[in-house]
Amino acid sequence: MTDRELDVRDEGSALAVTAGEMEIARYVHRPDAPDSEAPKPYLHPLRSLSGAPLSSYRPWDHRWHKGLQMTWAHLSGQNFWGGPTYSAERDYQMEDNLGQMRHVDFTAVTADGDRVTVEETLHWVTAAGEHWITERRRLDFHGVDPGRGLWALDFATELRNVRGAALDFGSPTTHGRPLAGYAGFCWRGPRSFTGGTILAAGGRGGAEMMGEQADWLALAGQHDEIDGGATVLVLAGRSSAAVPIKWFVRREPFAVISPSPSFDEEFTLAPGGTLELAHRHVFVDHLCDRAELDELGEEFAL
């Protein structure tokens, strides 16, 4: 096996994805988590090709943050994100509304050396045990390039409303909290990435990217324990909803990125309707400058 050959190993409750001898991602599809954390599949640990850590798991400030995972904090009154639910009247309060995203089966798990593909069926189940969404999820691990120190992950999903009634997709911002529009596929970076550099398409960057639109956004941070740093580049991709994808991004008090499909505008999914999302992450084993990110943003554009 070469240092760029991709493979996948089934470990029961998780799939381990390797590039050569390095495990670059672990997809935990049967998590051991309390109901208060809205159990759902997640990717952690994520690593660069050299083995540097690129994700956090159950940080003390938000125990429900787990690497890279599909989330939704406000879905017709249910919380599929974890922890307390925000309302303008009560601020954040723990509620009896924490749902789960339950793994049903894998319809495909394949590896051909250049790509690992995982296709999965999940059920979104409310706190009361009602099945609201059937999800068809696809993860593609690809683009391993040891010379440039990078690899890529594609995430595509179809969320079909099986509730028998409309579903309203929102965020804390649509419920009254400014600049808290996290929703959808969310990455929590290592603690050492706090204070890192945010760069975005079009010559933009910094904390002012919160709630903005851009084709791509990246966060570059330093490692603890080992020298150097890394860059996580996220391509906003596509949403079939009528509202645009906007960025939820922070470098303080911790590093987080979500291409939010409902940042500050709710949308409704009719009974039997399907929401389609597609995003791409590129994990780079060094600190990228703007010129390199402009090139990567064009190369990996969706």
- Per-residue model confidence as pLDDT tens for the chain (302 residues): 688 999 999 999 999 999 999 999 999 999 999 999 999 999 999 999 999 999 999 999 999 999 999 999 999 999 999 999 999 999 999 999 999 999 999 999 999 999 999 999 999 999 999 999 999 999 999 999 999 999 999 999 999 999 999 999 999 999 999 999 999 999 999 999 999 999 999 999 999 999 999 999 999 999 999 999 999 999 999 999 999 999 999 999 999 999 999 999 999 999 999 999 999 999 999 999 999 999 999 999 99
Closest by CA to 300, choosing from 280, 272, 283, 284, is 280
Phi, psi of 177 (to 5 degrees): -95, 115
State which CATH number among 3.40.50, 1.25.40, 3.30.70, 2.70.98 fits the domain covering 6-300: 2.70.98
Specify the length of the chain in residues.
302
- Residues contacting residue 173 through CB under 8 Å, at least 6 positions apart: 179, 180, 181, 211, 263, 264
| Tokens representing residue 52 in the block | 């540097």
Closest by CA to 123, choosing from 98, 96, 105, is 105
What is the per-residue DSSP string for 166-180? -EEEE-TTTTT-TT-
Domain boundaries, the chain: 6-300
